[in-house]
Amino acid sequence: METTLLLTHSALRYIVLIAIIYTVIRSWSGLLLNKEFNPIDRKAAAIAMGLVHIQVLIGIALYIIRRHFDGFTVMKALKEAGNIEGAAYVRFWAIEHIAMMLIAAILITIGQSVSKKAHTPQGKYLRLTIFFTLGLLIIFAGIPWPFIKSWGVWL
Ligand code: HEM
């Protein structure tokens, strides 16, 4: 169960990223080229948001199953023992990953909702562009990529 959730969460990162990047490209081009708002833009944003929500739910399950909330106490003990690298690893899972991903998920959810409420195509594109681009950058930065973390994994 735990292994399946972890593998699903790890693999889903690529689908989530592709869905957000697709929406971001469409919204930037709609904004810059003054396009009419297309129903595909709305669908792309809704699908990207839905995938982010699924990822958040699996993430919360993993956070509980793998007891990362214990990290707050473990972190202190590791720091006191002088294990700075260990403390940074524990802090990443206890605080950094969850905080960044939740902020990004909130931004993407707000973006999808405020874009729907805008009255002009340019207003819709502008709101999607701002919120989804910010969300994308934060999600990318919050992933433990192997080229950033020595213990990061591709899958
Ligand atoms: C778009 C959002 C997210 C993306 C792209 C993402 C991506 C990832 C990736 C790539 C991993 C590494 C998997 C591995 O080591 O095999 C991971 C692990 C994990 N993520 Fe996320 N994540 C997201 C949101 C969240 C959220 C919101 C939470 C918590 C509420 C969370 C909790 C976790 C946990 C607990 C692990 C396992 C850490 C471990 O014990 O090794 N994730 N995530």
Q: 112 is written with which tokens?
A: 């999808």
Burial class (CB in 10 A: 0-12, 13-18, 19+), 134: middle
Answer whether 123 contacts ligand 1 (Cβ < 6 A). no
Answer whether 127 contacts ligand 1 (Cβ < 6 A). no
Nearest Cα neighbor of 128 from 18, 17, 25, 13 is 25
Q: How confident is the model over 139-154, as pLDDT tens digits? A: 999 999 999 999 999 9
Directed axis angle between helix 2-32 and helix 121-142, to 10°?
140
Q: How confident is the model over 37-89, as pLDDT tens digits? A: 999 999 999 999 999 999 999 999 999 999 999 999 999 999 999 999 999 99
Best residue among 101, 149, 154 to mutate for probing ligand 1's pocket (most ligand atoms within 8 Å of CB) is 101
Domain layout of the chain by residue ranges: 2-69+98-142
Answer whether 95 contacts ligand 1 (Cβ < 6 A). no
Q: How far apart are CA 53 and CA 102, in angstroms?
A: 10
pTM of this structure: 0.94
CB atoms within 10 A of CB 76: 12
